[in-house]
Structure formats: C-alpha cells, structure tokens
Amino acid sequence: MTNLTSKNRSLVPEAKAGLDQFKHEVASEIGVQIPNNGYWGNMTSRDCGSVGGYMVKKMVEAYERNLAGK
C-alpha cells in the first residue's frame, strides 16, 4: 500500500524559517539564482542538489567544530 504522507518535512517545524534563510545564503554563496517567487520547483535538479549538498557540508562542518570545542 502506498504511503501518501510526505516524508520531506522538518523534524523541528520551528526551524523552517532558519533553514529557508540558510538555503538563500548558500544559494547566494555558490551563485545559484534564487527564485523571486520563492518556489524552487522550477529549478534544475543540479542547482537544487548543489544548494542542498552545500548546506549539508556546512552543517557537518559546524557540528564538527562544535564537537572539537567541547
């Protein structure tokens, strides 16, 4: 049976605004044009993957720095 619920949601819903801001910052850093209307569905998979991959890279780096500082 097909599960119709979306699995693409934040574990902490309160973090959505921060993640969206982070996504825009990363897109600007790597030179991906941010959609004016806020809808990322018309972006290429390559561009979205680049933004998401770089976001993960930066989050892992921040976590590692946090661990090293403890």
Which residues, 6+ apart, have CB-to-CB distance to 30 below 8 Å?
50, 51, 54
Residue for token pair 């693409």:
8
Give the model confidence (pLDDT) of 28-62 as tens digits: 999 999 999 989 999 999 999 999 999 999 999 99
Q: What is the pLDDT of residue 8?
A: 74
Residue for token pair 């561009």:
47
Alpha helices, H only, 1-70: 16-30, 45-68
Whether this prediction's pTM lies above 0.85 is answered by no
Of the candidate ranges 1-5, 13-17, 51-55, the one whose mean pLDDT is the lowest: 1-5
